Structure 1
Amino acid sequence: MTATRGADARASAAPPAFDATEDDVVAIPLRRPWRVVGGALVLVLVVSFAASVLTNPNIDFQAIGAFVFDPRILDGVGLTLLITFIAMVVSTFLAIVVAGMRLSSNPVLVSVAWCYVWVFRGTPLLVQIVLWGYLGLLYESLTIGIPFTDIAFWQADTNALISAFTAGLLALTLNQAAYSSEIVRAGMLSVDEGQREAAASLGMSPLYTFRRVLLPQAMRVIIPPMGNETISMLKNTSLLSVIAVLELYTQATVISSQNLKQVELLIVASLWYLFLTSVLSIPQYYLERRYGRGSSRSLPPTPIARLRRAIDARRPGPDPAPETKEVRVV
């Protein structure tokens, strides 16, 4: 009797089953034929362009394959990465300092920082590179001593001290610091003002508040544009060819001037730039995920997680459990 009553109770608690009738509304997906036509048209254009490049008799693909891993090209790739790394690290520290000066209550610091950003953002990067390369024409020697006197503690020849590599590194670093300082300042301004007030109420100094309270919260806004600036820095190293720094583009130009394979060497350089920018996009993606954890309840899945999810979806599911018949005991 107990089993029968339990079964009847479960049957009465189950939701009622509704039978489909002719009055039910059947949802039909909206057809978008022009989306299919547009996608097919774009696909045809892309395939046509790729076919025209691959079948072009004016491109020597054997030369491209021969020079992709040429030792001189690899040396240029290494120097490009070195310049990008040093310039971005140093410019980031300078940007934090300049942004702090812009946000300071000291009018002198604010004015100096504003003038620095104004000058380096207002002049072309190519002009700055050439000026740093020709610094020896302006100053024959660099001296450290007491201003407005002839007393000097240290003196060196400008051309011997500032080589082409150093001049290019200085130009890229100082120019990037001006742009990055505005990114850092925008990130600071995105933090709620109550955070600063709360830190001040706890007795934290302005420098400590800037370093431990404001900057970590501003990283969510700073990371995406700084990743883009890193990729831009990698490509801007090609401008150092005007002062004969042997980075990737300069090496490709030197080789092409010897074998007259200008287009092929440009393709080689472009392939390396595409590969390096793709590699740099990976840490940017994961840094954005790390500092964006507090902005949303659930983070988007990573590419590896999406791949695993697609593989699991294609796997056959477990066999359904065999049907069981309910036996009533009277």
Structure 2
Amino acid sequence: MNHQHDRALGALYGLAMGDALGMPTQIMSRASIVARFGTVTGFEPGPEDNPVSAGMPAGSVTDDTDQAVIVGRLLTGSGGRIEPLRLAHELLEWERAMKAKGSFDLLGPSTKAALEAVSRGVPPEEAGKAGATNGAAMRITPVGVAFPDTPLEPFLDRVAEACQVTHDTSIGIASAAAVAAAVSRGIDGGDLEDAFGAAVTAAAAGAERGHWVAGADIAARIGWAVELVRGLPERQALDRVCDLVGTSVASQESVPAAFAVLALAEGEPWRACLLAANLGGDCDTIGAIAGAIAGAVSGASGLPDEALATLRSVNGLDLEPLATALLALRAGTAE
């Protein structure tokens, strides 16, 4: 396996790992997690009193992984382009399938509102004009695998295309651009600081795209969140992330929170994902973002073998063909 393929697999499986570790503690407060688990140290089943993850086996992935795979499949099936209405259709079909299985892990607020608008006949370039939560950022990793982040403007075109139908806003695109650029820089061999730099640059440029919406600057908050936790003990750092950065579905909270746990874990994928799981809130998405970036930097060889085996067996995940197909797009872009 070459280094780039290892890193592509690391990004995809890292996303799934962070997602699955955060599954049981999503929508819980940090205090509730401490009271129930002490510290989350591995995959746990969904607690019966968690209205989103109740009954899910330990190691189960959620919408973060499912929707990232949808984006990846659309990219590889359409020569690297995402047709907005096709993405809308695929996401609606995914939600129908989840409802049929009795799942409560469904579409997020911005995505749901946008797809309802599309169903009413609103054109895709208008449907996502208010989407500022983290749905686009959580599923953008395949774009980072498929395309180099330099030159930046063509890369942002691909990010914006993936965002348009649900998160066509300055905040939605900036947050997705940050994640995709960090992943892409890792695929090309960058270290964690390279990934941070790429994320901030892409977020600043991405904020110039889409419909402007009010909210804190994603690039500035990523840089601030990273510095906020440097040198702190883990417990104090996690409390600070919850209290000051925030862990909600708002992009301005959860995306910087993911970069904060990456900094705290010094880019180590398993540790970053565990730290995210102990935050609570939208911690499956925070973990998925952190895991994707850490995995892109470290490669799948930096992920625990037991964790990979669990993800594959519990979810029937086989992400190798997707990684290969996404890298084929990347190779074509570079030619």
TM category (shorter chain) comes to under 0.3
User: Which protein is bigger by CA-based radius of gyration?
Assistant: 1
TM-score, normalised relative to structure 2:
0.21
TM-score, normalised relative to structure 1:
0.22
Structure with the bigger RCO (C-alpha within 8 Å, sep 6+) is: 2
